[in-house]
Every structure is written in C-alpha cells, then in structure tokens.
Structure 1
Amino acid sequence: MTKRRARRRRGLRRLALLLVATSAAVALLGAGAAWFFLDRYAGNVSRLPNVFVGLDQRPAETPGSSTTFLLVGADTRANGQTTGSAAVATATNTRSDTIMLVRLAADGTHTQVVSIPRDSWVEVPGYGKNKINAAYAFGGPRLLVQTVEQLTGVRIDHVAVVDFVGFTAVTDALGGVDVAIAAPTSQGGVSFNAGVNHLDGAQALAYVRERYDLPGGDFDRVARQQNYLRSVLSKAKSDGLLTDPGRLDNFMRTATASISVDDQLSNVDLVRLALDRRNASPSDSSFLTAPVAGTGMEGDQSVVYLDQAADAPLWDYLRQDTLQVHLGEFTLLPTIPS
C-alpha cells in the first residue's frame, strides 16, 4: 500500500469517526431538548380524567394517522381560572361557548378547523333534544364528546379545554393579537374600530364573545373565534416569538398552564404533535363552519338548525380524512369577518 493511499484511508476513517461523533452529539442534544420540553412544557399541562371511559359504540378510527381534537372554550361561572394546571377554582354551571373539531394531518402539512355553532339543536344522549353546548353542562367533556360523535360520526381522538381566564392569559402572553374588523362595534365596554385592531387578552375575549351587535349574530361570533385562532398562528409565526427564547418560554409556560387535555394524550404525544407542526404556517389551516338550515325557537330558547343534507358530506370527508381535497365545496372563513 502506498503512503498516499494509507494517508487517504486514515483521512476517511477520521472523517467517519467525526461523522459518528457529530451524529451522537446531535442525538444527545435532541434527547436533552426533548426531556426539557417534556418536563417544562408538556408536563405543565393538566389532564381531564376518564373522558373516553364508558363510551360505547364509538365511530371507527380515521384512516391513516391524522389526529382529531375537540377544542372547547368553556363559559364558566367561577372566581378564577378553572382549566389548566394554573386553575384556582372549580367550574360551576359551565357551558361550552366554543366547539371546534380540529383535524391535524399526520404529516403536519395542513389543519382543518370545523366550528359547530353552540346553539345547534341536536340530540344529547340521555337528555333528548337540546342545544349542543348544554351537553358540557350536563356531563362535562365526556358527554360533549359523545354528543359530537353521535352527531357527526367522526371519532374524536383528544379533547382540549380552555376557560375565559386561561384564554385571556394566553393572549396576553402572546403580546396580544391583530384582527381585522369590518365595522365599528362594542362589547362589554370594549370598542372595536373598522380595520385592524390590536387586542390584549381582555379585549380579545370581548371580541370572540360579541354577537348581539353583529349582523350575523352567533354565526359572526363563530367567524370571529376562527379569525382569532388564525391571528394567533400568524402572530406566533411572524412576530419573532419563535426566535426569542425568553418570550417563547413565557408563552409556552402560560399556554400549557391554561389548557386541560384528556388523560389519553401523553406528554410524548404532545411533543410529537409539536414537532410535526414546527414548520406549519397560518396558510396551512382552513376554517369552516358546519352548514346550517336556519334559526328558530324551541320553547323559550333561540336555536340553530343544522343542515343535515349539507353536513353529511362534510362529516363523511372528515371520517375518510379527505376534507382537504374537498374544501372547495364549502364556504370558508371570510378574510374580514364582522
């Protein structure tokens, strides 16, 4: 063997050893980062016990590995936060102010958010016909899951709940959000101007709760709730939050302390979902509302009647995990809701 070939082989061996050492270092750093995330953030999330226990005759699992969340905004009557590990009070007389099915694609490329109007007149198991938001008051997350699954035939994998106090804290930790509003309105002493409004937590809560001064009533409120979510995604992506360790840590700690999830969602699952969506952008998310046939009265209650014929293909696409390719068949969130 010539000296040149010997030197070349030694060089290749050193390069190989360097690559192995570098790979090992990256793996160790990755494990450390994962441990930190598990301990500091995912471990900060509180769990809702036994949400899926005792639910019989559930819909079939969605094909593939996509994940379906039932996202609930809880309208609580309590002094203090009632959701998340930062809860200081117990919820009483709670109804679900926001009900959304959130489908997260397995490859992290897209998300669909489908709102169900809270006044939808549906069958609540064990209670007969009622507003869908009453299911949460009657039986908490478990009964709401059962009600939504019976209505849609879509299997819910996980549940996430946040109350008004938690909602406000998360918005403030983000530094507020910017939303576009079509015309001046007011809610709870908070005034909104036509155009882009920067809202802190309390103002954002008033924004997503307003309905009486809006031309579409509760339908415009649903659009506002979706617009708020889109604004949160946009703010996190474009405002430097993801590149500012201090701000990001504060936001993550606040967000994870404000939300409760079902006890079937492990910390490892949370990390996996976060990693899958690390490159997601607001444009990857689509927002729509379950089609409705109209409104009416049931006794002294103002209710929303869902359009069963128009809803059927929507639920079917969700069941088959094909909604992304059929979005053109539905009305999506307007650019500037009321």
Structure 2
Amino acid sequence: MTDALSRPTQSAPAGRRTRLARGAGATAAVLVLGTAAIGAWFYQRLDHNLTTFSAEGIATSRPPAGPTVAGGGRAVNVLLLGSDTRNDGNDELGGGDAGVGHSDTAILLHVYADHKHAVAVSIPRDTLVTIPACKLPDGRWTAPKANQMFNSAFTVGTSTAGNPACTQNTVEALTGLRVDHTIVVDFKGFAAMTEAVHGVDVCVPGDVNSFGIHLTKGRQTVSGQTALDYVRARHGFGDGSDIGRVKRQQAFMASLIKKVQGQGLDLTTLLPLADAATKSLTVDPGLGSAAKLAEFAQSLQDIKLADLKFVTVPWRYQGDRVALVQPDADTLWTLLRQDRTLDGRSTDQASAGPTDPAASPTASPDASATGGPATGAPTPGTTANTAPNTTPGATGNPADLAVPVTVHNATGAGGVAGRVSDELRAAGYQEVAVGPNTRVRSTTLVEYGEGRAAAAEQLARLYPGAELRAAAGTNGLVLTVGQDHGTPGAGGTTRPTTLPTTIPTGIAENVRPADTDLCSDLSFG
C-alpha cells in the first residue's frame, strides 16, 4: 500500500481513461465529512490546502433555511459534487487533456434537524432540468434555460474549475431546498483517500474486461486508480447506463463509510487523509477553513449507518436523457423540506421503530397508478399525511380541535390559505377561517392566545419547523403559512405542501439503505 499522499501505484492507459464516463469525487466528500475533525494545530496547514469558490455567483433569491427542532438543531443540505477537471495532475488519473470542468456525480445530502438521520439523493447527470440564471466569469448573468442536462450547470462559463455556484442554484431551483454547503472533490482527492483507509470493499456484478478495466465478479477491496475506475466507469458494467453507475456509487459510499466507522482513524491515518483530501477540495465560503469543516463534520458524528438512506430521484428514460417522474419527484422534495423521512415520518417516529407497514416505501402501492399521489388531509397530533387509517387527534387532546384557527397566507403564492383551511377542516378542526394574505415570510408561524399553548403545539406538529409564539389578545390560534410549507415554484405555481397517504413507487423503488449488503441491487449497472 502506498502512502496516502503519493501517486497511486495502479495506472491505466490514457486513451482508456479518456473514454471512461466522468464523475466520482462526490463519493469522497462523504468520507471528508466523517474525518475532517482533527487537532487545531494542524488547521493552519489544511487552510492553505482548501480552495473556496466565490459566493457572488449564488442566487440572491433562495429557499428558506431548513426546519429546526427543540434544542436548536436545524436541518442542513449539503451538495456533493465530483469534478473531472484534468488540471493540477488529475489528467494522470482520469486521462484526457485540460478543458472545461464537468461534474457528472451530484448528491444532495439532507441531514435531518436531529443530526442523527440523513438521506443522500443522487441526481443523474442526464436529468433534464431548467438551469436558472448563473454568473459568468466576466460578471454577466446568463438567462435561464429549460430542458437542459443537469450536469451542464457545472460547465456554465466554460471554466476548467467548473461552476459549483451554478449547480447549487440549479439544485435550489429544482428542489425548493436551501443548499447550506457545497463541496467539490477531484480525482486526486478521491484516489488518495481510498488509499488512506487501506481500500474499500466493493462488489462487481459480473466479470469486466472492457475499456482497460479488468475486474473479476464478486467481492474485493479496491483503492486508488482501481477504486476511481470502479465508480466512474459505465461501459462493461450491466447495461452501461448512468443509472447503473449511480447504484454502484451509492453502494461504494456506504461501504466507505462503514469502513471508516468500523476501523476508526488514528493520527497516522487521519493526518495524511485530511491533508490529501483538503488539497483536492473546493468548498463554499461557509466551509472555507479547516476549523469550519471540522466543526461541521463533528455535527454529523451521531449518524449511524442504519440511519442513512440513499435514494435516486424518481426518474424515467426520455430518449437518451433522463426525465423526472412527477409527482413522485416533487413528493421527495416535499418530504425533505418538511424534514420527513422517506416513509413520511418524523425522525422521532423513525427512531421509535417501524409502524404501519403500509407507510413503508417497500410495501406501499404505486400512488401514480390511481392518477397521482393521494393528498389526504394532515392528521392532528401525528404527521402531515404520512400513513393511512389514522384518527384525528389520536395523539393529542380532541378538545383542541374545537379551538378556532385563522389561516393566513405568507407564501407569496395564491390559494394557499384556502387549501390549508380545507385540509384542517377535513382533519377534524371545527372552526377554521381564512384571513387576509400577509407579508411574505420564509417560515410558518403558529400564534396562540392565553391557555392555548397545548393546542398550538398540536397544530404545529403538522408543520415541522414552525415557530410557536404567544400573542396577547389572540382568541384561539393563528396559523401563518410560510414558504417552507407553501414554496412558490416555477411559473407561479405552488410546490406541494402535503404528503400522500402512501409513498409513491417512484421513490420506493429507488431507495438503498446504507446498511444494505454491498452486492445487492447492482445488476442494473
């Protein structure tokens, strides 16, 4: 095994490496988040390694910050990108010549507000999306472009370093989720880190002898160039698709995290790893120092492998491109905006163990088969539309359903207050009135009068992250719906704010728990 800072001993012909599909470095970013916490005495050296991209290219109109929980924890979204830049020695690993930087691996990591659960959403490179306005190197901003491949956002401006701010803008516009941090990793960082952990266990679904890659079917440990080839290549694996590569990358990342959590890292491993990783990182200004990176990494240390899920955004082929399956994709974004697990529960409920099997993604029927997802009303005292056969007020005081509620729309989109009022009435609230639209606010607010605190808490459970506030002179409850539960989408429409009573198959069939056997479900690619 070579030193983590040296060049990988395994190499491959440049011509073959040129033909490999791009993208892998986001895999390495997961490891960085788990191992960046090191002694302060080493920070100064690492600070010189990090590259920070300018915040000037980040859109000024952005989704609200994620929901919070008691104790101050807040949901955080991290965009992990793999760069295929051939600059700075990366051509020796990836082949080819220096040119426009691409990112064909993109993962949106949603860290729940309890910081004990997380979901990593893969967005295929060929997904057709709208690229919003993005800043060019000369300071001009582009016009939005519809029906573009997702990975083209990183190439806006044709810089060899890529345009991570544009990709961040694209993800925020697509999902309605605020991206708190963006991390870009190149080939060298990925290869060096896999060597620093002494290799990663992988599973090869079949013998591969294509484009210079020679792997034998079955389980094996890979590092350096071989690890990079395994997660980058498309041809020679299954049907050769990008979707198959995504599945393989998800299995690789889970195995990588398992390796790190299982063996731990002493200083002889940790310091070379951190040094190699940070030399290959480009981060947003919020993570622009080793101390900030380490602080964020420490905030994730309580996430167990069993509480991490991978999911590919619901997709279908559209010619040689990938289209999002709706309304399933929007349901996924709604789940994450409301800080709900993939089976629609709160993290507290998820920690308590499984409930109704019908709410499980692996057991739920295809909602789209009946003309789209069910959009039943939220159930007071439980969660907003998470499981069938629930009883209004089952976990709260039924008397609180008689407390009058006035609903105001503060989303900036039309019709939200009326729709929310209808949902509350259907859920059993007896006296609901629609108030006038109010000034736009990012978060939902529940105000309550004297003696109504318990009723306010019950109502707020339907709107995770809602602010609770006592209001003198208020008779009953006042619900002001913010953009976190009624975010305006493209064309002035309103993003979904409620969840279906069953999780659509488009989500269920694309979920991969991190503790799944590494050979499971790799035949596609």
* TM-score normalised by length of structure 1: 0.78
Aligned to 2:341: 323
Q: Secondary structure at the match of 1:191?
A: strand
Aligned to 1:17: none
What is the rounded CA distance, in whole Å, between the counterparts of 2:106 and 2:326 in structure 1? 18
What is the rounded CA distance, in whole Å, between the counterparts of 2:245 and 2:217 in structure 1? 16
Aligned to 1:131: 149
1:51 Cα deviation from its structure 2 partner: 3.5
Which of 92, 115, 121 matches 1:114? 121
Which of 36, 44, 63 matches 2:41? 36
What is the rounded CA distance, in whole Å, between the counterparts of 1:232 and 1:72 in structure 2? 17
1:308 Cα deviation from its structure 2 partner: 2.5
1:280 Cα deviation from its structure 2 partner: 3.7
1:246 Cα deviation from its structure 2 partner: 0.7
In 2, are the aligned partners of 1:188 and 1:206 still within 8 Å (CA)? no
- 1:74-125, Cα deviation, whole Å (9 max, x unpaired): 122435149xxxxxxx963111110110112344312210000001011112
In 1, are the aligned partners of 2:55 and 2:284 still within 8 Å (CA)? yes
Q: Which amino acid aligns with 1:50?
A: S
Q: Secondary structure at the match of 1:159?
A: strand
Identity %: 33
Alpha-carbon distance change, 295 to 257 in structure 1, aligned in 2, over 3 angstroms: same
1:266 Cα deviation from its structure 2 partner: 4.7
Which of 26, 48, 51 matches 1:47? 51
Aligned to 1:167: 190
Q: Secondary structure at the match of 2:195?
A: helix
Which of 71, 96, 103 matches 2:80? 71
1:199 aligns with 2:204: no
Q: Secondary structure at the match of 1:112?
A: strand
1:161 Cα deviation from its structure 2 partner: 0.3
Alpha-carbon distance change, 258 to 54 in structure 1, aligned in 2, over 3 angstroms: closer
Alpha-carbon distance change, 81 to 59 in structure 1, aligned in 2, over 3 angstroms: same
In 1, are the aligned partners of 2:120 and 2:310 still within 8 Å (CA)? yes
Alpha-carbon distance change, 187 to 149 in structure 1, aligned in 2, over 3 angstroms: farther
Alpha-carbon distance change, 187 to 45 in structure 1, aligned in 2, over 3 angstroms: farther
What is the rounded CA distance, in whole Å, between the counterparts of 2:305 and 2:209 in structure 1? 27
Q: Which amino acid aligns with 1:221?
A: R
In 2, are the aligned partners of 1:241 and 1:248 still within 8 Å (CA)? no
- 1:261-296, Cα deviation, whole Å (9 max, x unpaired): 111225443222222233443223111100102231
What is the rounded CA distance, in whole Å, between the counterparts of 1:237 and 1:153 in structure 2? 32
What is the rounded CA distance, in whole Å, between the counterparts of 2:312 and 2:98 in structure 1? 27
Q: Which amino acid aligns with 1:307?
A: V
What is the rounded CA distance, in whole Å, between the counterparts of 1:111 and 1:171 in structure 2? 22
Q: Secondary structure at the match of 2:104?
A: strand
Alpha-carbon distance change, 54 to 168 in structure 1, aligned in 2, over 3 angstroms: closer
What is the rounded CA distance, in whole Å, between the counterparts of 1:79 and 1:272 in structure 2? 28
- Bigger fraction of residues in strand: 1
Aligned to 1:305: 323
Aligned to 2:236: 213
Structure 1, gaps ≥5 residues long: 1-32, 83-89, 297-301
1:216-231 aligned at under 5 Å gives the runs 216=239, 217-231=241-255
What is the rounded CA distance, in whole Å, between the counterparts of 1:308 and 1:76 in structure 2? 33
- Bigger fraction of residues in helix: 1
Work out which structure has the larger RCO, using CA pairs closer than 8 Å and 6 or more positions apart in sequence: 1
1:235 aligns with 2:259: yes
Q: Which amino acid aligns with 2:340?
A: T
